[in-house]
Amino acid sequence: MPGVNAIKLLTGNSHPELAQMVADRLGIAVTPCVCKKFADQSIDVRIGASVRDEDVFVLQTGNSPYVDPNDSLMELLIILSACKTASARRITAVIPSFPYSRHDKKDKSRAPITAKLVANMITVAGADHVITMDLHASQIQGFFDIPVDNLTSEPSVARWIRTRVHNYSDAIIVSPDAGGAKRATSLADLLGIDFALINRNRKREQNKRIRAAQREQAGLSTQSSFSDLQSGLTTPNPSNLLVEKAALQKSRSASGGSSSGSSGDSGIGGGGGNGNGGGDQRRIASQDQLRSVNDQLDDLSLHQQKTSADETPKLGHAHAHGLANGRLEPAFSSRDSSPSAVKQTLANGVLVDERGHWMTIDENGHRVVSGGLKQPESSHPQISLQSQDLSMSTSSLGSVNMGEGAADDGEETKMEILVGDVRGKTAILIDDMVDTGRTLALAAKTLKDAGAKEVYAHISHGLLSGKATDLLAMLDLERLVVTNTIPSLEKARASKGKLEIMDVSAVIAESIRRTHNGESISLLFQEDAALLF
């Protein structure tokens, strides 16, 4: 191989075995490099050979049982920086398992995009090129301003399936979630077999229903659009209570389609007739929804506790009157809407008075929607539901549309097969990463319940954190195959033969050789790439 002697391969403490295997395939020696810690836990790096004007490849995986992942990242950055200051001609970071790859997007407020931060750090440290394998999200390649080669283990996995799975042509490739659908379909097309897709549905049904009933009974909104509101107020929705369409239609038909708000009705939008058609429609819709929820509560026979005399003034006249009669009433009546009662503007036109009640007012000064203060359960025992009142059916409370995050406990996770038929077939689960193993366990159980004959799993990066190895030993799984991008030898010994390690050092070595010689590496992504190794 021309020019191979000019390659300098360095590695830290994260995966020395893989580095040695790659060096053996290239026919070179690993350049001595010592990474150690001082007493204050700071990292010191010493490179034991000259790298001046050399083509340097630094192999360091992002996850390892040998070192902390943050220490592994710091070792990589320090080695890159040391090679840069030592006048290396070109520096390539070879990262089989990219660190923080799951933090690739801002999926909620104030969430960091840590993968982008890591990309910036690697570039600033001195890397001219990055080689990695099976990124969790392919868009991470766009986080870099330098060339990135995202290798794939797909040809090697296809070869394993052809040689190790009996009658593989009757097998089916399965993705355990929607995010891996593209990976599963690609491998299925390569093998010429079918694929299936599993949907993972996290539900916290019981606690959502309990809290929904509490909020309904207190006359509060069932959703809040301000996640960081610390004052305890619930923010308004287009209507105070969200009910299903069928219930709304039922209440309208029961009321005879009447569109006039009588004086006996404490309508949410009740502000007197002003000729405003839009205001009337909103007022009628709010009243209809309120009647619908009252009908549902009557049908459920929820036993309301009597309002004590000393607590009634704290809830407001109209609100307390509604609770005392076992029905939901608006937190305000129309006579409470004087501007003098409003003390401050909360946000988006939401006005809050001195008692903590909120409201929104239209352009004519009439209230559109309003609500009350969200009180702790211990503050008002008369509006808290007792345990015997919560024995209502699932279908009865199914009409309330709960928002995300309404309850964070009591998690019920279910999986169902959305696409494909696995009955009587050998199912092969494909994913890029397994951490705790819980998703894998649920997917394997779902496939077995659906009639799969055997279940295999192919995972690119086997993190197997915590007691995942113990869980693997108990699974109804024929074999879990992981690559050696992460050291897993000890876990394979403890898995009772269910964990198999697939070597990808040949793929990494070939990519290093082709990069050094200026050859194309696109051949490594083709169908017959496994024949090269």
Average pLDDT score over residue span 350-373: 63
What is the dotted CATH code of the domain comprising 154-203+413-502? 3.40.50.2020
Mean residue pLDDT across the chain: 75
pTM: 0.63
Name residues whose C-beta falls within 8 Å of residue 264's C-beta, 6 or more positions apart in sequence: none
Closest listed residue to residue 18, CA positions, set 115, 125, 97: 97
> What percentage of the chain has pLDDT greater than the value 70?
58
CA angle 159, 429, 114 (to 5 degrees): 100
Neighbouring residues of 150: CB distance < 8 A, sequence distance ≥ 6? 132, 133, 134, 135, 138, 141
Q: Name the β-bridge partners of 360.
A: 350, 369
Q: What is the pLDDT of residue 343?
A: 53
pLDDT at 423 over 50: yes
Return the percentage of the chain with pLDDT > 90, whole number: 50
Mean pLDDT, to the nearest integer, of 188-195?
Answer: 94
- pLDDT interval class at 258 (50, 70, 90): very low
Confidence of residue 105 (pLDDT cuts 50, 70, 90): very high
Q: How confident is the model at residue 71 (pLDDT cuts 50, 70, 90)?
A: very high
The residue ranges of every structural domain in the chain are 4-151, 154-203+413-502, 205-397
What's the CATH code, domain 4-151?
3.40.50.2020
Mean pLDDT of 382-397: 36
Considering only CA atoms, which of 190, 203, 183 is closest in space to residue 409? 203
The two domains 4-151 and 154-203+413-502 share their CATH topology (first three levels equal): yes
The whole-number pLDDT of residue 306 equals: 44
Per-residue pLDDT at 125 exceeds 80? yes
- From 55, 9, 53, select the one nearest 33 (Cα to Cα): 9
In whole angstroms, what is the distance from residue 48 CA to residue 10 CA?
A: 10
Rounded Cα–Cα distance for residues 392 and 389 (Å): 7
User: Judging by DSSP bridges, how do beta strands 7-11 and 55-59 pair with one another?
Assistant: parallel
Read off the pLDDT of each residue in 314-324 and give the average, rounded to a whole number: 42
What is the average pLDDT across 401-423?
60
pLDDT for 47 beyond 50: yes
β-strand partners of 430: 458
